[in-house]
Amino acid sequence: MQIVKSVAQMQTICRKLRTQGVVLGFVPTMGALHQGHLSLVQRAIAECQTVAASIFVNPLQFAPGEDFAKYPRTFEQDARQLEAEGVAILFAPDAKEMYPEGAVTTITVPGIGDRLDGASRPGHFTGVATVVAKLFHIVAPHRAYFGQKDAAQLAVLRQMTQDLNFDLELVSCAIVRDADGLALSSRNQYLSGLEREEALVLHRALTRIEHSITIGERQSSTLLQIGRNVLDTATGIQVDYLAIVDPRSLLPVASAEKGALVAVAAYVGRTRLIDNFLVT
């Protein structure tokens, strides 16, 4: 696996691959990799001739007081895992390479970027959209792979990809969970043993809502109350949102019909976790 740290070198390598007709897949990450990330890599490997990944903890998407400084950084271990999975190129720039002195341009996706996580973390999705647009421009992949766990991020990036005419397919991949149902996240390692037990209430609430839909309840207000009742059983969490929305606009829907997104975010201690499912 080739490790590349400069934008210019990465562009040269990827441009050559595209000129040769190679189908290039791309998995952007912030490192601290877990099986969820590796499932994206595995999907990309299965669908593309060559796969590139990136590791970059993007300062632009962290607000003051958030966990940028303590965000887990495990580069050597991450690189070994990516190489073992068959990734051909790892792009690992530093912040000065991605945001050189004098860089002032950002990308904002109004409306969508202000909903769900965007409402709770003002400016977050501007940071996400900016760095992903830069990565798309640098790598120019045919397909880029993202996890469904970050459903609001997916909605923002779908809109950005469409609006800016990026010539690529954005691929959403299923949430990967531990055996007890907790959605895998790099931030799970912040949780104490007790907090991890408390965190399971997010999945329980979603599961209860999903069951209620299965047996015929579709009214969003009723389903949300069912979910809140489950969340209220946990004393160590602070709910940020529980919502039933259109997965592309992130606007609330009155009825949980097929394709609707049911999403939750909560602080467990000081750690913010998210989870969701799509109605089938």
All residues at 6 or more sequence positions from 65 whose CB lies less than 8 Å from its CB, including other chains: none
Identity at 223, one-letter amino acid code: L
Residues 37 and 169: their CA atoms lie apart, in Å, by 18
Q: Which of 34, 37, 203, 211 is catalytic?
A: 37
Identity at 263, one-letter amino acid code: A
Is 142 part of the annotated catalytic residue set? Answer: no
Question: Residues with catalytic annotation?
Answer: 37
